[in-house]
Amino acid sequence: MGEKIGFIGLGNMGHEMANNLLQSGYDLTVYNRTASKAKSLVEKGAQLVQQPAGAATPGGIIVSMVANDQVLEEIVSSQGFLAHLEPGGIHLSMSTVSPLTARELARLHEQHHSSYVAAPVFGRPDAAAARKLWICLAGPPAAKERVQPLLQAMGQGTFDFGTDPGAANIVKLCGNFLMISSMEAMAEALTLAEKSGLDRSTVVDMLTHTIFATPSYQNYGQMIAQKRHMPAGFRQSLGLKDVNLVREVAEHTSTPMPFASVLHDRMLAGIARGRGDMDWSALSLNVLEEAGLELPHSE
């Protein structure tokens, strides 16, 4: 491959995405705050750098997959890679962040004559490993065209939402809100079934093979039915971050979203009980507690 790619953020998702770029033949430079997470990638040929700026090539492409807005702003800022990206460079930002942050970073990149492309993804780490991510895309047309080969190496499909980088992040937040909402609904429904003397797994198996035959209901339905929330594909603490972003956008656009407040309180209560590092489907444990059912022994 002709492009030299920098990749920042090697968590559960980023590591698999970076690995797919390596397997596709890209010359990859990686950075992660915990350097040990890059070990397997370095063994396969990636170059590890000690600072975000070291991942940038003048006029090149840098991909970021980090936890939140603050980290994203830090790796881009004057202490980060932006000045090293130089004119013609592209930042492919694949994290779930506020659309306001995306727009501000796009303006900052434009001032440095580089491009910011928002490309948040739908999919858990196993989907990332299998190149089965669904990708929302927004940004300058020429930059979006240039990053297409990278997107094809990491995902199964891309949906373009125009030139406003905030648009892709709004779609991502809408999707995450719907997923969290479905988990709350499944938790309540399966708890009702259990308290009525039915087997949770049998009920969810029927429902997810018929009227709710979608990956979100099938995957999270089984986790909730089995009361299995470790290892975490996406931590509950990050789920709360996303709900807060939804509420922020709702406030900014004067959009009442009362159920977002319910989900916020549900996740906050779980984190207060020490479940922040469990999968975000662990919000269902709060439902069990409120219904007077025993929690799984591993909890």
- Confirm whether 146 is domain-assigned: yes
Contact (Cβ atoms closer than 8 angstroms) between residue 283 and residue 259 = no
Same domain, 124 and 215: no
Catalytic residues: 172
Report the distance separating Cα 55 and Cα 52, nearest Å.
6
- Confirm whether 31 is domain-assigned: yes
Residues 240-277: tens digit of each pLDDT: 999 999 999 999 999 999 999 999 999 999 999 999 99
Same domain, 18 and 95: yes
Contact (Cβ atoms closer than 8 angstroms) between residue 232 and residue 201 = no
Q: What is the mean pLDDT of residues 77-105?
A: 94
pLDDT for position 198: 98
Within 10 angstroms of residue 103's Cβ, the number of other Cβ atoms is 17
Closest C-alpha among 65, 22, 24, 66 to residue 42? 22
- Confirm whether 297 is domain-assigned: no
Residues 109-132: tens digit of each pLDDT: 999 999 999 999 999 999 999 999
Residue 50 pLDDT greater than 70, yes or no: yes
Report the distance separating Cα 37 and Cα 64, nearest Å.
15
Closest C-alpha among 115, 96, 92, 90 to residue 11? 96
Give 3-state DSSP helix, strand, coil % of the chain, rounded to 5.
Answer: 55, 15, 30
Task: Look up the domain containing 100 and give its range.
Answer: 4-163
Same domain, 195 and 242: yes
pLDDT for position 78: 66
Residues 192-243: tens digit of each pLDDT: 999 999 999 999 999 999 999 999 999 999 999 999 999 999 999 999 999 9
Same domain, 25 and 142: yes
pLDDT for position 298: 64
- Confirm whether 181 is domain-assigned: yes
Supply the mean pLDDT for the chain. 96
Q: Which CATH number belongs to the domain containing residue 97 in this structure?
A: 3.40.50.720
pLDDT for position 297: 76
- Confirm whether 298 is domain-assigned: no
pLDDT for position 79: 72
Same domain, 126 and 223: no
Total domains present in the chain: 2
- Confirm whether 238 is domain-assigned: yes
Task: Please give the radius of gyration of the chain, using alpha carbons only, rounded to the nearest integer.
Answer: 20
pLDDT for position 3: 86
**Helix/strand number for the chain, H first, E second:** 13, 9
